[in-house]
Chain A
Amino acid sequence: MRILIVGGGTGGTIVANNLARRLAGEIRHGGVRITMLSASDRHMYQPGLLYVAFGQMMPDELYRKQQSLLESSIELHIDPVEEFLLDQKRVKTAGGHTHEYDILVIATGSRIVPEEIPGLAEGGETFYSEAGAVKMFKALRAFQEGTVAVVVGVPHKCPIAPIEVTFALHDYFTSRGIRDKVEIKYHYPIGRIHTIENVAKWALPEFERMGIRYETLFNLKEVDAKKQIVYSEEGTETGYDLLVAIPPHRGMEVIERQSLGTGGWIPTDRRQLKMEGHDDVYVVGDTTNLPVSKTGSAAHFEAEVIAQNIASEVKIGAPVCEYDGKVYCFIETGYDSATYAMFNYENPPELKAPNKAMHWFKTSYNKMYWTSVRGLL
């Protein structure tokens, strides 16, 4: 049995390690082989980028060598896939190699596409890449007074990020003693300040307490970087002195190029996590078109289901469990408090009051992630 995992992010790495443990005996006796193809030899802890943007983490804290995170029985190649030949059960890589499989796991993730909004890349700061987060920190550091506008592209990874960055901005300028010289204005695509109703209900009085202005039904259309104005699809506009943007995302180019899914999102069965029409292909994390958050948390819980089912297919010839839509998101509510949202397909999140203990748990998790992605937590 040849199991091929394409992508070495959170989802792909957890699938690989979980499988390697569940199938240790089969691998040892030569009946199973696990191969991973990754585009990078480094693995990034992406939630850490928010901390880099506020000078609370250094970029080098975000990385580990991908090989160091994998069980030794997993064969790793740093060689991204250029072509999926699903009918022939094989893929071709940028390095010119062909890998055949019996079961394929696609975990290629997503990418930011600020260029979809004219002027956004020139006019906005983002923290969705290492370079962007460092640049944003320097822009914040240089900022002395004026209006900071937070705007949100659709779709985007980590739906809680718009709220988190807004609270962090409030605490950052407060800590510098210039909050009274800075106006923070938050813009959100739908008719309330967060897509999760309970998060919106909780955050609204917090915004009012902190003096954060907001505008809803604001979808990015265009940024005029010279005039420092953002225009919305809804016909409104907002001026800024510093623009902080959650950029729109797409799936990876190889997925779009091969027409595996519109926008780069692969049509996926929401409970079995198999690619629609392909019984031998699983999809995990951001790569799916599932109506769940694009977060490491969703990828983690999906990965556990996929690994359990692939292992049971090997051992008894049938899958044994289903993904219930589970997501668990920390919500940093400033520099020293946090809460969380946990939900699935059936149950909405019920928010607890933010507290310091949850913030310290999140701070600890920033280190514990490396244990988690190894499949030990």
Chain B
Amino acid sequence: MSQETTIDARNTFCPGPLMELITYMKQANVGDTLELLSTDAGTASDVPEWARKVGHEMLSSENRDGVWHLRIRKAK
């Protein structure tokens, strides 16, 4: 049974949103979906680039009221 987990990385500079995502991705099972919340503008490009290189699936990316919501499915 795949799970969906939200990672609240708003207003954080270290370790930062992508590092938080990598941490949670290591803990997740294949098929699980992670939603990353971030107020860092760079997240919108950093996360898709990393997901593409590693081979995870970007499901969606949108900015709501200044907060990026990125959903990624663990593929491997």
Contact = CB atoms under 8 A, between A and B. Distances in A.
Given A190-B50, A217-B50, A325 B22 contact: no
Contacts of A293: 14-15
B4 interface: no
Interface residues of A, number: 29
Nearest to A190: B18
Given A217-B49, A234-B54, A349 B23 contact: no
B22 A291 contact: no
A233 B75 CA distance: 12
A112 B35 CA distance: 27
Contacts of A195: 13-16, 18-19
B72 interface: no
A327 B54 contact: no
B12 A292 contact: yes
B6 to A, nearest CB: 12
A159 B42 contact: no
Given A154-B19, A189-B22, A235 B53 contact: yes
A108 to B, nearest CB: 18
B70 to A, nearest CB: 14
A293 B11 CA distance: 13
Interface in B1-15: 8-9, 11-15
Contacts of B15: 155, 159, 195, 291, 293
A193 to B, nearest CB: 13
A159 B49 CA distance: 22
Chain B interface size band reads: 20 to 34
Interface string B9-45: 1011111101110110011000000000000001000
B14 A327 contact: yes
Contacts of B50: 190-191, 217, 234
Interface of A is mostly: loop
Interface in A123-171: 154-155, 159
B14 A159 contact: yes
B54 A233 contact: yes
B53 A291 contact: no
Interface stretch (A29-37, A59-67, A340-348, A367-375): A340-348
20 contacts: A154-B23, A155-B23, A159-B14, A189-B18, A189-B19, A191-B50, A197-B42, A217-B49, A217-B53, A233-B54, A234-B50, A234-B53, A235-B53, A291-B8, A291-B15, A292-B14, A293-B15, A325-B12, A345-B12, A348-B13
Interface of A: 116, 154-155, 159, 189-191, 195-197, 217, 219, 233-235, 248, 262-263, 291-293, 325, 327, 341, 343, 345-346, 348-349
4 nearest CB pairs, A to B: A291-B12, A195-B16, A234-B53, A345-B11
